Every structure is written in structure tokens, then in C-alpha cells.
Amino acid sequence: MRQLYPALEPLLTHSLAVDSPHVLHIEECGRLTGIPVVFLHGGPGAGCTPTHRRFFDPDRYRIILIDQRGAGRSTPHAHLEGNTTQALVADLERVRQHLK
């Protein structure tokens, strides 16, 4: 079994307003000039954890963790209105534009 990379803290955190009333929680770890990698957590309701940061080599990657709408540290928590697959995909595009 592979070992996880050492624990690390986020370098940047963002709150990104998407469709009202949803605000996504985003964090960036690792090397900000590195190869971007986006981690999407499972569900329902749970968001990213500090362990998820450790899946990728922080010397090589710009690690981007997104708490999807209604989950984790995104707000409002467990809110189902407007929480569709299409909205989740649109959110990823908004995150991409925000982090360009």
C-alpha cells in the first residue's frame, strides 16, 4: 500500500458565490505554480478533509480541494434546492474561471 504524503495546511482558501444561496469552500495546497489537480469528494454531505490533501505530491502539484454545494464547509450545508448534477458541473467551470 502506498504511503500518504506528509500533512500540510492550505496556502489559500476561497469562498466562491455560485447560484444563490450557494457559496463554495475551496482550498489550495502544495505548489501554486505546480500542475493543477482537482479533488472531488464523495457524498452526500461530507466535504474534503485534511487527509485528502495528502493524496498528491505537494512539491509537484497545485492541489485544489472543493467542497461541493451543500457539503462540507460550503454553505448552506445540506441545502438541496438547486443542487443538481448540472449545477455541480457548472460550479466546476466557475471554480476553473476563478482560479485561472
Residue 43 has a pLDDT of 76
Q: Is 15 exposed, middle or buried (0-12, 13-18, 19+ CB in 10 A)?
A: exposed
Residue 44 has a pLDDT of 73
CA–CA gap between residue 3 and residue 69 (Å, rounded): 30
Q: Is 26 exposed, middle or buried (0-12, 13-18, 19+ CB in 10 A)?
A: buried
Residue 42 has a pLDDT of 87
Average pLDDT, the chain: 95
Q: What is the dihedral of CA 73, 75, 76, 79, to 10 degrees?
A: -80
pLDDT digits (tens, 9 = 90+) for 59-81: 999 999 999 999 999 999 999 88
Which of 54, 84, 67 has the alpha carbon at shortest distance from 15?
67
For 19, residues 6+ apart whose C-beta sits below 8 A from its C-beta are 69, 82, 87, 90
